[in-house]
Structure 1
Amino acid sequence: MDYLVQLASDPAAWIALVTLVAMEVVLGIDNLVFISILTNKLPEHQRSRGRRIGIGLALVLRLGLLSTVAIIVKLTTPVFSVFGQSFSWRDLILIAGGLFLVWKATKEIHHHVDPNPGEGVFETGKAAITFSAAIVQILILDLVFSIDSIITAVGMTEHIPIMVIAVIVAVLTMLLAADPLGRFIDANPTVVMLALAFLIMIGMTLIAEGFGAHVPKGYIYAAMAFSTAVEGLNMLSRRAKARRGGAGH
């Protein structure tokens, strides 16, 4: 208890908490986009439940991983080398997760560009994926993003309570944003393609980091923000044209 009181009275601890919360929320965006796209393929009455379960699993995984921080830190220790390039368990997990993300996003893009006749991706009467399959895929990506999140947290602070609070706040933010984001993506098909392109970029970033090439996250999120802004302008332009067309009749 004295440790918590001392921590609460330390301004540096509060600065670390605010910084880590912001970092965790930003890292959670990737996870949330994947969950939203995947659950939108479920029947409408299952989507919200699927998002809650997916985000709940992310919280459980992250809190569980925090209880094994000593083990997580060791995941960065090289376990073997190939042609002079060392690989740790974290590297292997990032590479596997990145490959899965690239494969999944590419598959979804192909389905949007050349869907099967009579099978809509977002039809409410028919699921393009089973509920259990969606949860399993969400769980796989939750694990990858959770390990990356915890390693980031360990690198920013040594205080477990700060990590726990930051993780809980970030996941609660994801929970609040999940349904609105899912509905927005469902209502704007062009946004789906943009989000899938983001997932490919994130997957390639994970693979690059797994091979030891550090990619500054600021560049990634700046590119995502710029692309989103451009798409927002396109959406406003389409709506303006639709209103002018309606007024013309």
Structure 2
Amino acid sequence: MDGYLNGESLAALLTLTSLEMVLGIDNVIFIAILCGKLPEAQRDKARTLGLLLAVVSRILLVLAIGWVMTLTKELFVMLGHGVTGKDLILIFGGLFLLFKGTREIHHKMQDARSPDNKPTKISSLQAVLIQILMIDVVFSLDSVITAVGMTEGLKHPIPIMVTAIILSVIGMLAFSKAIVLFIERNPTIKILALSFLMLIGTLLVAEGFHQKIPKGYVYFAMCFSFIVEMLQLWTLKPPKPPKVETQY
């Protein structure tokens, strides 16, 4: 236990927890968009179950770390590049995000043009959870492999990774409802979030084909776009009516 609670391990735990929360933002956005297509009574349940599925998938991948690391071994060569199991998962996961983002934007435009402006709903909670689980595996694989690299050389890497995953999901649970409500109340933010998912999908496909795009540039572009959109919402906000002083 002393080896687990030393300064190096605590620093790794803090860093890894922060990283897991940052990487989990993509997951929360995806869950928020899918939950928005459910009846309101089921949204909180789907959001909580979606994040719990993320915890389970990450912990299972950590415990099966030997199998995960075999995914980095070359399976075959295509176009002069070695293709690994991780590459295939990233490519198909990225294509799924591109498909999902494009489809949701198309549905959003159809809903806006419909006479009654009634949004399209997914009636099945199971269908939403299956889609969340699929993308949880993609995001979990990337974050677990990153975590393995960060904890390499530590005496107790697996307890540190599991603890960081649990702490990060507790943090995401605390803020996820606010994110879901914010996206639902602002349609332009929802379109921006879908665009972010498509950008992340492109990044995953490129990474699967060994085309390294610095993630810092991508996250900077996303933050810049979000700030511009927030300024736009602020400028369009109706001014408060002036206070009328009553004279007696």
Task: Measure, in 2, the Cα distance between the counterparts of 1:140 and 1:129.
Answer: 19
- Give 2:210's aligned residue: 212
In 2: Cα distance, 1:133 partner to 1:58 partner: 16
* Residue 74 of structure 1, CA deviation: 1.2
Tell me whether 1:40 sits opposite 2:39 in the alignment: no
Partners of 1:8 and 1:14 within 8 A in 2 = yes
The equivalent residue for 2:2 is: 5
Runs ≥4 residues deviating over 6 A: none
1:77 maps to which residue? 73
Whether the 8 Å contact between 2:39 and 2:123 is mirrored in structure 1 is no
Unaligned ranges ≥5, structure 2: 243-248
Give, as a single letter, the amino acid of the residue that structure 1 aligns with 2:72.
T
Q: Which residue of 1 aligns with 2:182?
A: 184
Q: Mapping of 1:14-93 within 5 angstroms?
A: 14-93=10-89
Partner in structure 1 of residue 173 of structure 2: 175
Q: How many angstroms does 1:83 deviate by?
A: 2.2
- Cα drift, residue 129 of structure 1: 4.5
User: C-alpha distance in 2, partners of 1:71/1:144?
Assistant: 15
Pairs aligned (count): 236
Deviates more, 1:110-119 or 1:53-62: 110-119
Compute the RMSD of aligned alpha carbons.
Answer: 1.5
How far, CA to CA, are the matches of 1:24 and 1:91 in structure 2?
21
Q: Aligned-pair distance for 1:7?
A: 2.4
Show structure 1 runs of 5+ residues with no match. none
User: Whose helix proportion is higher, 1 or 2?
Assistant: 1
Instruction: Give, as a single letter, the amino acid of the residue that structure 2 aligns with 1:179.
Output: K
SS in 2 for 1:215: coil
Do structure 1's residue 137 and structure 2's residue 131 form an aligned pair?
Answer: yes
1:166 equivalent among 160, 164, 167: 164
Q: What's the TM-score once normalised by structure 2's chain length?
A: 0.91
Tell me the distance in 2 between the aligned counterparts of 1:213 and 1:174. 30
